[in-house]
Amino acid sequence: MSIWDQALGVIQSRVTAENFSTYFRPLHCADVQSDRIVLEVNDAFFGDWVRDHYQDLIHDAVESIAGRPLEIEIVTATTPIPVPASDPPKSKSIVEEEDATLAPVIPITQGVKPKRLGAFDLNPHYRFDTFVVGPSNEMAHAASMAVANDPARAFNPLFIYGGTGLGKTHLLHAVARRIYADRPNAAITYISAEEFTNEVIKSIQRQEMDAFRARFRDQCDVLLMDDVHILAGKERTQEEFFYTFNALHGAQKQIILTCDRTPQEIPRLEDRLRSRFQWGLIADIRPPQLETRVAILQAKAERDGISLPDDVAFYLARLVRANVRELEGALVRMSAYASFTHQELSIPFAQECLRDLVDHREQALTSESIIKLVAEHFDVRESDLKGPRRHRTIAHPRSIAMYLCRKHTQSSYPQIGRAFGGKDHTTVMAACRKVDKACNNALSARSEIESIERKLPI
């Protein structure tokens, strides 16, 4: 087996089956020399994409096989190389399976083609009548109902934003189900922004852009796109989505988008898309209040036939505050354990069986975890936040990260400075003061901080 074939084996074990067949199968090893390996692709854009996103991974995989670092050169082939057929889907990774135990979700777009939804594709639990409405989500809920009852007339697009696990996907499915019930012939496309990106790349690679455009622009009455923050920095995908958006909007087709932040806060998003995201209605979902969390738990317990005493419901709801998925996961875990061990649900029992959740929560909020989260939020590298660069695109997230470390951990200024690659404590103090002042003076600064805080496990 060649070095490249063996390296592919290493890569395959590190990425999802979907990404492997999209990005790595099409790479053709044209040459291996003592200091470099030359990979050919059919399309320069595809090559750039792979270089931007997977260079390090490929480099590490090749080095682990060759026993020395080789330069990775990705070039466009002069004569087209054949594109291998896709692999059958591999079993899920461990991470996904762990997730699944917390939230039993039926994947609705297996395979790569976004398809018209049939009712069977929808998660059976994600309906309007199972969505518990409270002050934190009533606007998003009402707007979703309005759109489901009168697509493309109420608000277009509807843009729903909020932190992870707060019910955005749930609402999208509920809308699809309602539209589908009223108009069985409607062509409803549900796709995550990540899958849309994969589709764009694959279609370019296979020279099937016409079919792609027909599918999204001409054969679609309602487009539900989940997690559009993923489009950050993906220029070619943004361009394609811009035309899709225009075609659908112009033809009075309903578009609903979900995101983990407001349109203004999505980094590296073209202004023309940003402005379109704001054309219709923007509705937020915030973490639910205590009473709503208790109501969600009680509804779930009733659905699943779990007998949940009120005091235990309140205990759980106080413990898990920022994420409904985790809240439900804690209930599922506890009731499973209770039924294995034939015990009743009680507060001491809950304390015992959710102990790692409590410990984990305490551990989770370290400077490291805040730096990681802020880096993800702004789409910058953690090493840049810890490094010396002073460009605004780095300095701004760095100041915010320092501020959040100070606010949410017990660390001192010098400790925070050390977590940021050995910065002086005066630098940290200045950053915290600056962010504090900005928050006092501008609503936008405050909302930016809040949208990051929503993701903290607090």
Question: Exposure pattern of 216-237 as b/e (b: 16+ CB <10 Å)?
Answer: bbeebbbbbbbbbbbbbebeeb
Candidate list 169, 203, 262, 399; residue touching ligand ADP; CB under 6 A: 169
Chain-centre distance of CA 285, in angstroms?
16
Could you tell me if residue 339 is left (phi over 0), alpha (psi between -120 and 50 degrees) or otherwise beta? alpha
Q: Please, what is the minimum distance in Å from the beta carbon of residue 162 to ligand ADP?
A: 6
Q: Is 137 in the site for Mg ion (CB under 5 A)?
A: no
Cα gap 88→91, rounded to integer Å: 10
- Does residue 317 belong to the site contacting ligand ADP (CB under 6 A)? no
103's CB contacts (< 8 A; 6+ apart) are 165, 325, 328, 329
Q: Is residue 193 within the footprint of ligand ADP (CB under 6 A)?
A: no
Q: Does 169 bind Mg ion (CB under 5 A)?
A: yes
CB of 256 to ligand ADP, least distance (A): 12
The H-assigned helical ranges of 206-340 are 209-213, 235-250, 271-277, 290-304, 310-319, 324-340
Single-letter residue type at 108: I
126 in contact with ligand ADP (CB under 6 A): yes
Distance CA(102)–CA(332), nearest Å, equals 7
Closest approach of Cβ 200 to ligand ADP, in Å? 22
- Least distance from Mg ion to the Cβ atom of residue 259, Å: 10
The residue behind tokens 């200045």 is 430
Whether the Cβ atoms of residue 449 and residue 400 lie closer than 8 Å to each other:
yes
According to the binding rule CB under 6 A, does residue 170 interact with ligand ADP? Answer: yes
The option from Mg ion, ligand ADP, none interacting with 132 (CB < 5 to 8 A, set by class) reads ligand ADP
From the list 162-170, 209-217, 259-267, 391-399, the region that binds Mg ion by CB under 5 A is 162-170
Per CB under 6 A, contacts with ligand ADP among 78-107 are 103
With contacts defined by CB under 6 A, name the span among 47-55, 129-137, 261-269, 409-417 that binds ligand ADP. Answer: 129-137
Nearest-angstrom CA–CA distance, 247 and 240: 11
If binding is defined by CB under 6 A, does position 131 make contact with ligand ADP?
yes
Q: Single out the segment in contact with ligand ADP by CB under 6 A; choices: 30-38, 164-172, 276-284, 348-356.
A: 164-172
User: Applying CB under 6 A, does 132 fall inside the site for ligand ADP?
Assistant: yes
Q: Is 167 in the site for ligand ADP (CB under 6 A)?
A: yes
Choose the contact partner of 170 out of ligand ADP, Mg ion, none; CB within 5 to 8 A by kind: ligand ADP
Residue 293: HSE in the Cβ half-sphere, 13 Å Cα cutoff: 28
Q: Taking CB under 6 A as the rule, does residue 190 contact ligand ADP? A: no
**What distance in Å separates the CA atoms of residue 161 and residue 262, rounded to the nearest whole number?**
6
Among the residue ranges 128-136, 166-174, 306-314, 446-454, the one whose residues contact Mg ion (CB under 5 A): 166-174
The answer to whether residues 152 and 252 touch, using CB atoms and an 8 Å cutoff, is yes
Residue 158 makes contact with ligand ADP by CB under 6 A: no
Residue nearest to ligand ADP (CB): 167
- Report the alpha-carbon distance of residue 122 to residue 105 in Å, rounded: 10
- Nearest CB to ligand ADP, comparing residues 406 and 455: 455
One-letter amino acid of 148 = A
Instruction: In whole angstroms, give the CA distance from residue 73 to residue 84.
Output: 21
Of 86 and 164, CB closest to Mg ion? 164
Q: Does 109 bind ligand ADP (CB under 6 A)?
A: no
Q: How far is the CB of 299 from ligand ADP (least distance, A)?
A: 6
Which residues have CB under 8 Å from 228's CB, separation 6+? 193, 257, 258, 259, 266, 277
Q: Tell me how far, at minimum, the Cβ of 337 lies from ligand ADP, in Å.
A: 20
Tell me the closest approach of the beta carbon of residue 96 to ligand ADP, in angstroms.
14
- Here the tokens at position 54 are 């997977």
**Single residue of 199, 240, 265, 328 touching ligand ADP by CB under 6 A:** 328
Residues in contact with ligand ADP by CB under 6 A are 103, 125-126, 130-132, 137, 164-170, 296, 324-325, 328
Contacts with Mg ion by CB under 5 A lie at 168-169
